[in-house]
Amino acid sequence: MAGPLMRLIAKDIACQRGGRAVFTGLSFSVDKAEALLVTGRNGAGKSSLLRIIAGLVQLAGGRLSLEGGSTELNIAEQAHYVGHQDPVKGALSVAENLMFWNSYLGGEPDVRAALKAVALDSLADLPAAYLSAGQRRRLSIARLAAVKRPLWLLDEPTTALDAQAQSALADLMSKHLLSGGLIVAASHGPIGISGAKQLRLGPA
C-alpha cells in the first residue's frame, strides 16, 4: 500500500474557474494512515480541490507532490477519485461494469470480493440500468475495494447511501487507513471517519 514516508503535500496552490480565483495560497499535508476532511460552503472549491489532485483540473499556481509514492506514476495514477457522477454503463451488468474498471485501472478480473464489500454481490448479473441511485453509488465505491491505490479522493461519498451502505463505506475507509492509505474527502457533513484532520475552504 503506502510507503513508510508517504505524504501528500500542497504548497501555496491556487485554483481558477471561469477566470475567477476560487482559492489561492492553500497549503496542507496528509500523511499515510491519515484522512483530511475538506469542508466549506457551496462554491468554496471543495470539488475543485479534489479534481486538481486527481489531475482533472489544471493547477493555477503552487505545487502538489506525493512524497514516498511511485517515481514512475503521477499523483492521479496513484489515486482513486469518486466524484459526484457515478460512471456506470447501464447496458453492462453490475459485475461487467466493475470488471471494465478493473481492467482500465489495472486490477484483478475477479470482482466478487469487491461487490460483496458493498453488498452488491447478489446483483452481479443485473443490468446496471436497473440500479437505484444508492446502488449506483455503491458500485462506484466498489472500485476502492477492487483496485489497491494509496490515495483516495472522495467527493461527497455518502450521497444517496442509506445507513447500512454508509457503515460499509466507513469500514472500507477504516481498513484503507489501517493499511497506511491516505484519504482526502470533501463533504458538508460527517462521513464516518473518526479523528480526521479538517480543512475549511472559504469564509467561516
Residue range 96-150, pLDDT digits in tens:
999 999 998 888 889 999 999 999 999 999 999 999 999 999 999 999 999 999 9
153 in a domain, yes or no? yes
For residues 147-172, give the mean pLDDT. Answer: 95
CA dihedral 13, 56, 140, 169 (to 10 degrees): 0
20 in a domain, yes or no? yes
Grid coordinates representing 73 are: 506514476
| pLDDT of res. 177 | 97
Q: How far is CA 159 from CA 77, 90, 169, in A?
A: 25, 20, 11
Average pLDDT of the chain, as a whole number: 93
59 in a domain, yes or no? yes
* Band of pLDDT at residue 3, cut at 50, 70 and 90: low
118 in a domain, yes or no? no
| pLDDT of res. 5 | 81
Q: How far is CA 89 from CA 99, 170, 186, 202, in A?
A: 12, 26, 25, 36
Residues 6 or more apart in contact with residue 172 via CB below 8 angstroms: 117, 118, 141, 144, 145
- Domain boundaries, position 67: 7-86+148-201
* Band of pLDDT at residue 80, cut at 50, 70 and 90: very high
* Band of pLDDT at residue 4, cut at 50, 70 and 90: low
47 in a domain, yes or no? yes
11 in a domain, yes or no? yes
127 in a domain, yes or no? no
| pLDDT of res. 189 | 84
Structurally, how many domains does the chain consist of? 1
Which CATH number does the domain housing residue 166 bear? 3.40.50.300
195 in a domain, yes or no? yes
